[in-house]
Amino acid sequence: MALLTEPMAGSASANRERLQKVLARAGVASRRRAEELIRCGRISVNGRVVTGMGLRVDPARDRIAFDGRPVRLEKKVYILLNKPAGYVTTLADPQGRPIVTDLIRDVRQRIFPVGRLDLDSEGALLLTNDGTLANHILHPRYEVNKTYEVELKKTPARQDLRHLEEGILLDGRKTWPARLRILSRAPGRTIVEIIIHEGKKRQVRKMFQAKGFPVIRLKRTAYGDLKIGGLPSGKYRFLGKNDLKKIFSGKIPFTIKNIPD
């Protein structure tokens, strides 16, 4: 198969856009992951393997394939799931544990989770086939807040909370500022709310562990202003444009077409 490393003729057409953006819109992968797929030679356009980043394509006219399978733009789907503990946020698990998409019924599109909630954590989890949305939520540059409720055995002192708010060294890097408040306290049980816009693996658990407070239970309650509310554990609902606006403080920073309010 021929190799294509340079933009095709006519790349200035108004209908053309960067290949990695089209792949993200088609739900193949996030834009960053799509760039990796291109570099690895797993994407072809009109029968020619692509390895360069500058290619612009017209998804209505060009034949795009991923590992030889045609790539088609799907209707975008946005789902908010109240993830129970005991499910992993991957699309497959070699250990055979339940995966979050097992809970989603009657959705034909290939959806993926936006970010992580580890096996023992629960709460708000977005699933979509929109790689652009996922990138805007996960990339620290966009500073989308994620809110968690954390159950601890002991009540942190004000000084401990202040240190976590200001940022602590974690895995050799200082965490970004956070917002914390105690929601409730009782003998042997304290609930703390923490709001961060980072999303590194097991970050909230590691932050509290670093201050000597092992997490008993962790639940994500919101992305931005989009809250889990009274959605029962293991259930989900489809999101409209007004829901997505709540994630980004009222204004979606990219174009979404053909989705109801």
Buried b (16+ CB within 10 A) or exposed e, 8-30: beeeeeeebebbbbbbbbbbbbb
Q: Which one from 62, 93, 106, 118 is the annotated catalytic residue?
A: 118
The residue type found at 261 is D
Task: Say whether 118 is catalytic.
Answer: yes
The structure tokens listed for 32 are 């960053």
Quick check: 178 and 203 in contact, CB under 8 A? Answer: no
Please list the residues that pair with 227 across neighbouring strands.
Answer: 222
**Tokens 């097991």 sit on residue:** 202
- CA 196 – CA 165 distance, rounded (Å): 9
Structure letter (DSSP) for residue 156: P
Residue 94's SS3 state is coil
Catalytic residues: 118
